[in-house]
Amino acid sequence: MTLQAYQEKAAVCWAGCKQRYGVLMANPHLNGGQKLAVHYFTVAMVLFMAQLLFGLLAGLQFLFPGFLYEILDFNVNRMVHINAMVVWMLYGFMGSVYWFLEDESGVEIVGLKWGQLAFWVLTGAVTIVVLVYLFIQFGAGNDTSLWLINEGREYIEAPRWADFGIVAVVLTFFYNVAATFAKGQWSGIAGVLTLDLVALAGLYLAGMFYVTNISVDQYWWWWVIHLWVEATWEVLVGCIMAWSLMKLLGVRRQVVQTWLYIEVALMFGSGILGLGHHYFWIGTPEYWFTIGGFFSALEPIPLVAMVVHSIYDSGVHRFKNSNHPALTWVIAHAFGNFLGAGVWGFMHTLPQINLYTHGTQWSASHGHLAFFGAYATINIAFFYLAAQQARGNVWMGGDLVNGWRWKTAAILLNVGVLGMTVALLIAGYEQSFIERAMEGSTWAGYFAAQNHPWFMQAMIWRMLFGLMTAAGGALLFWDLLEIGKGETRPAAVIGEAVTVE
C-alpha cells in the first residue's frame, strides 16, 4: 500500500469515527450526565490504547536495550505507560459516576456546565503533560522542572501545576455529585460515594509537598500510591459495581449496599493499616512489619463477596441478564481483583518474603494483574452497560450479531494480562533467587540476574502476551464503537428483585 493510499484509508476511518461519535452525542437516549460520560469514556479508551502502546515499547527495550535509545528512552516509555494507566482509569470512574448520577439521584445534575469545563481542563492538562514527557525530558532537576516538567516521584511524575489541576477537577466532580444528591434522592450508594470523593481529593494532597528527608518523602508518597489508588479507588469501584449489579441482574439494593458498607469498614480497619506493607524499608518502626503484611490482603474481599452474593441473589429471583459482555467483565473483575490485589499482593508483601522480592519483577507481576483485575475490568463492564443504553437499550445477550468480537477481546485481554503476570512472576522469582538470596543484593548479583536465561525467556514471553493484550484492546475499542448497531430486539426489563415469601 502506498503512503497516499494509506492516508486516504486513515482519513475515511477517522471520518467514520467522528460521524459515529457525533451521532452518539446527539443520542435522545442519553441525559446530560451521560453525554458528559461519553466524553470521559472516549478519552479513557484512547489513553488505554496509549498505555498498551508504550507498554509494548518498554517491553521491547528489555529485549533490545538500544531500541529508540536517546529518541524515546525506557524511562519515558515506562512513565507514560504507568501514568496513562492511572489517568484512563480515573477517567473511566468519573464517567461511570456521571452516567448513573441522574438515575440514582432522580434529578438533573447540579453544576453540569462546571463538570463539562473540568473535563476539558483535565484533558488539556493531560495532553500537555504527555507532550512534555515525550519531548522535554533532559537536564538537571530543579525547582523549575518540579513545577513545569516532572515532579520526580515514581508513578506520580506529573508536574506541580498539573497536581493542582487534578485536585481542582476532583473537587468540581465532588461538588457535582454532592449537590446533585443533596437536591435529589439520598441512598447508601450516595452517602459512600460522596464521602469517598472527599478522600479522593484530600489524599492526593499528601504527595504535593516537598521534604528533603527521603524517608519522610517516601512516607507521604505512599499515602498517595496506597490510600489514594488502593483505598479510595476500591471504594469508588464498589459504588460503581453496586449500581451496575442492580442494573445488570436486578439485585436487591440491600445486598449490594451491605457489602459496600463492609468495604468501607474494611478500608478503615485494614486498608489504612495495610498501608504499612510499604513501610518496611524506609526507616519506620518494626511493628509495621506484622501489621502491614497481614492487613494489606483483606481489602478485595468485600467486592468479591458482593459479586458472588449478587449472582446468587439474582439466581434465586429468576436470573435474567441481557448484557452478556458487561456481566462477563464484572465476573472477570471479581476474579481479577481477588487474584491480583489479594493473592498476588499477599504473596510478596509479608516482610520475610518482601526482603527478597522488593524492587524485582515480582512487584510488576502483582501490579499488572492487580490494576487490570481491580480497575480496568469494572471500567470495561461499565463501558458495555453504557453502550447498551446508548443504542436504545437493545438486546446484548448470547446470540448478539458479531458477538465474536467482544468474546475474543475478553479472551485476548484476560489471557494476555494473566500471561504477562506469570512471565513477570518467573522473572521476579529468578531475580529474588540469584540477585537477592545468592548474591546478597550486590551490583554483580543484579547484572547476573538480568542476564540469566530465565529472565530473558520471561521477558520474551511477557512481550508475546503483551502483543496479545494489545490486540485484545484494539478489538475491544472496535467492538465498543459497533456493538448493538442495527439490533432491534429490546433488552429484558430487569427491575430490583423482591423477596417472595
Cell reading at 240: 460503581
- Long-range contacts, 79-82 (Cβ 8 Å, 24+): 79/133, 79/157, 80/50, 80/54, 80/130, 80/133, 80/134, 81/51, 81/54, 81/55, 81/57, 82/155
pLDDT per position as a tens digit, 444-496: 999 999 999 999 999 999 999 999 999 999 999 999 999 988 888 887 766 55
The gap between the terminal CA atoms of the chain, to the nearest Å, is 68
pLDDT at 89 over 80: yes
Summary mean pLDDT of the chain: 86
> What does pTM read for this prediction?
0.89
What pLDDT score does 499 carry?
Answer: 41
Q: Residue 98: in which H helix or E strand, if any?
A: helix 74-105
CA-based radius of gyration for the chain: 23
pLDDT at 497 over 70: no
Contacting residues for 204 by C-beta, under 8 A, at least 6 apart: 163, 166, 167, 170, 224, 228
Contact 234, 200 (CB under 8 A): no
What pLDDT score does 490 carry?
Answer: 82
- Element counts in the chain: helices (H) and strands (E): 21, 0
What is the Cβ-side half-sphere exposure of residue 308, based on CA atoms within 13 angstroms? 10
Instruction: Say which residue the cell 479508551 belongs to.
Output: 45
Instruction: Say which residue the cell 461538588 belongs to.
Output: 175
User: What amino acid is encoded at 300 in this protein?
Assistant: P
Instruction: Say which residue the cell 538480568 belongs to.
Output: 450
pLDDT at 209 over 90: no
Cell reading at 287: 511493628
pLDDT per position as a tens digit, 361-408: 999 999 999 999 999 999 999 999 999 999 988 888 878 888 899 999
pLDDT per position as a tens digit, 319-374: 677 899 999 999 999 888 888 888 888 888 788 888 899 889 999 999 999 999 99
User: What amino acid is encoded at 441 in this protein?
Assistant: S
Q: Under DSSP, is residue 436 helix (H, G, I), strand (E, B) or coil? A: helix
pLDDT at 217 over 80: yes
